[in-house]
Each structure stands twice: as C-alpha cells, then as structure tokens.
Chains A and B, each alone.
Chain A
Amino acid sequence: MIADPAAVPVRPIDRRFPPVAELATVSLALVVVGGVLMASYVPRRPPLGVPGAIAAVSAALVLTSVFLLSRLHRFAWDRFFLAFRWGLLAYVISAGMIAFAFIRDHTRGAPLALVLGMLVIFALDVPLIIAFTVARYATPPD
C-alpha cells in the first residue's frame, strides 16, 4: 500500500519559503550604504537625496519582507516571536547608541530624522532575519 504523499509531513529543511531573509538582508545592506554615505559627510551637513532614496527602497524591501512573512501558513510563529522579541531588544539598544552618538555630535533637523529612520529599519531588519532563520527550521505546531 502506498501512503498518501500529502499526509506525509514535510521536514522544515525541505520546505521552500519566500525570500523573507534575503529581502531583509538587502534592506540591511542598503541601510548600511546609506549610513556610510551620511557618515562620510560628518561633521558637514550631508546631501539627503541619495541617502533618502536608499532609505525609501530599504523600507519598501523590509515591508515586502513582512508582507511575505504574514502570508505564511503553518509556520513556527511561537519561535519566531520569541527570537524576534529578544533580537528587537538587543538591536533597539544598538540603534539607540548610534542615535545617541549622532545627537551628541549635534546632528539636527532633516539629517537626524533620516538617520533615525535608517536606524529604525536597521533595528527591524536584524531581528527579522534572525527570527525567520530560527523559525524556518522549527517544526510548526499542529
């Protein structure tokens, strides 16, 4: 007798997922490029056009990544949120330190707003990648 293939549970490693981590990693890379561009002008006021465009694309990628993630069925959400919570705490502290350094160095107005926006994306990207990588190899609850 042949077992129904649909009834055999797929191992997490054999399951195919949308490119959630890949998109978030590209988003992270863009934020880093934007951050390097901004930092290369310190202590002068940086032009905001290119870093702003980079930040917008980066934000769009992380939102796409979250959208793809939200459409997943049978996913280890408990594992995902456990890892995401702790990752978020760690990277909010990291981002907060970077923000503190910029504020301490008298970055103000639009450049500061752009830096803070990039730091928000950074603080979301890393926990998202970590949590997705952890949860994709976990067996989802029945």
Chain B
Amino acid sequence: MTDVGRLPAGTLDAATGPPRPQIQVVPLRGLPIVAAVVAFVIASIAGNWLWALTFCHVVGGALWTAIDLFVGLIVGPILGRLSIPARAEFSARFMPKMVLLMPTLVLMTLAAGFQLALKEGNLAPTSPNHAWLIVSYCIVGVMAVIALGVLEPANIAVLVEMRKPAPDGEVIARLMRRFLVTAGITGVMQVATLIIMTRVATQ
C-alpha cells in the first residue's frame, strides 16, 4: 500500500521543486454544480419520479464505488511511490475536488436509493430484498462513520496544513495514515455493496 504515512517532519518546507499551488480547501466554482445536483435529487424525491430516482442512485452509486476503489487501490499506491513534492502537488489539486465530489455522490446515492426502495416496495417486510437492504444499510453505516468521522476531517485538516507557509510534514503524515488504515475496510465494504445491489436488482 502507499507509504504516504512515512513523510518526515518538515520535508514539505524543505522540499525543492516547483512552487506549491495555491490551495482552496473548498473549490467555490464547484458549489453551483453541487447545488444543482442537490436540487435535482430533492425534485426527484418530491416528484417520486422513477427515472430520476434510478438515475441519481445508479449514477451516484457507480461513481462513488468506482472512485473509492480506484483511488484506494490504484491512485493511492502510485502516490505513495512519488517524490514528496510531486505527492504534495498532486494532493493539493486532487483533495479539494474530493471534498466536494464525494459527499455529493454519497448524498445523491443514499437519498435517491432510499426513496427508490420505498417506491419499488423493496422495504416491505415481505419483499425478498428486505433483508439484503438492511445489510446494505449496515454496510453504508460503517462507511459513513469512517468517511465522516475519520477521513473527511483528515482530508480537510491536511488541506489546511498545506495552506500554511511552512506545512508540517509530520502532521500531514499522521493524518494521511488514516487513509491507509481505512482503505482496506472501505474496499471490502464497497465490493460487498456491489454484490448486494446487483443481487437486489435481479431478484
């Protein structure tokens, strides 16, 4: 796995290379897109539109799962082998986008998915999908706690640290270690979600 957790203290400050890019913790230009997506999800739920709910759930869920697995299994290990300035530059451009993208995809997937399950009758106790959906709630619950309680605070704290004139490599390393510790858990959870959702869709 990645060894971003082994970044020594003060290395970012001492690192030579291209000047560090200006970091915006929350990319403001992305907020109108997020607002449009949220408005679309609200309208889909209010109107109980089957196509729109399916679109939000399938597109949101596919992107969420794919990005999570791709970043955890492909990008993370590559990032761990880059030079420290390259890692810092990549993270400075990549992580602000994730701050907006992932919560929006999660909100879109879960809100539309719950409404869709209700509309399709999958939440009824007599439905063969009921037990599968309860298991998926539990999986999503674990992922939500990891994402909201562990990863998102670390992501934002890393970005704030990188905005400082002399970022502390040890702080960034300590925070990034959380991504390594949880990558395996979220990977397994995402694969389990794929199995459950394909099972639910075909019963």
Q: A35, A97, A137: which contacts B141 (Cβ < 8 A)?
A: A35
Whether A32 and B145, one on each chain, are in contact in the complex, defined by CB atoms closer than 8 angstroms, is yes
Q: Give the bracket for the number of chain B residues in contact with chain A.
A: 35 or more
Interface locus among A2-10, A21-29, A53-61, A110-118: A21-29
Whether B161 and A24, one on each chain, are in contact in the complex, defined by CB atoms closer than 8 angstroms, is no
Give Cα distance in the complex from A20 to B114, angstroms: 32
Taking each of A13, A33, A100, which has the highest tally of chain B beta carbons within 10 Å of its own beta carbon? A13
Whether A134 and B156, one on each chain, are in contact in the complex, defined by CB atoms closer than 8 angstroms, is yes
Whether B145 and A36, one on each chain, are in contact in the complex, defined by CB atoms closer than 8 angstroms, is no
Q: Does B46 have its Cβ within 8 Å of any Cβ on chain A? A: yes
Q: B42, B45, B107, B153: which contacts A130 (Cβ < 8 A)?
A: B153
Mask: chain B, 92-107; 1 = CB below 8 Å from A; 0 = not = 0000000000010001
Give chain A interface residues in 94-124, CB to chain B under 8 Å.
94, 97-98, 100-101, 104-105
Give Cα distance in the complex from A130 to B156, angstroms: 7
Q: Does B171 have its Cβ within 8 Å of any Cβ on chain A? A: yes
Whether B124 and A137, one on each chain, are in contact in the complex, defined by CB atoms closer than 8 angstroms, is no
Contacts of B175 in A (CB 8 A): 133, 137
Give chain B interface residues in 91-130, CB to chain A under 8 Å.
103, 107, 111, 114-115, 118, 123-125
Q: Does B188 have its Cβ within 8 Å of any Cβ on chain A? A: no
Whether A43 and B38, one on each chain, are in contact in the complex, defined by CB atoms closer than 8 angstroms, is no
Q: B45, B134, B141, B148: which contacts A126 (Cβ < 8 A)?
A: B148
Mask: chain A, 30-54; 1 = CB below 8 Å from B; 0 = not = 0011011001101110000000000
Q: Does A129 have its Cβ within 8 Å of any Cβ on chain B? A: yes
Give Cα distance in the complex from A128 to B188, angstroms: 28
Give Cα distance in the complex from A86 to B38, angstroms: 17
Contacts of A21 in B (CB 8 A): 149, 153
Q: Does A93 have its Cβ within 8 Å of any Cβ on chain B? A: yes
Contacts of A79 in B (CB 8 A): 160
Q: A13, A35, A40, A129: which contacts B153 (Cβ < 8 A)?
A: A129
CB distance from A4 to the nearest CB of B (A): 24
Taking each of A12, A39, A100, which has the highest tally of chain B beta carbons within 10 Å of its own beta carbon? A39
9 further contact pairs, Cβ within 8 A, besides A101-B45, A125-B149, A133-B175? A11-B168, A12-B171, A33-B141, A40-B134, A90-B103, A134-B156, A137-B157, A137-B168, A138-B160
Listed in ascending order, the chain B residues whose CB lies under 8 Å from chain A are: 26, 38, 41-42, 45-46, 103, 107, 111, 114-115, 118, 123-125, 134, 137-138, 141, 144-145, 148-150, 152-154, 156-157, 160-161, 168, 170-171, 174-175
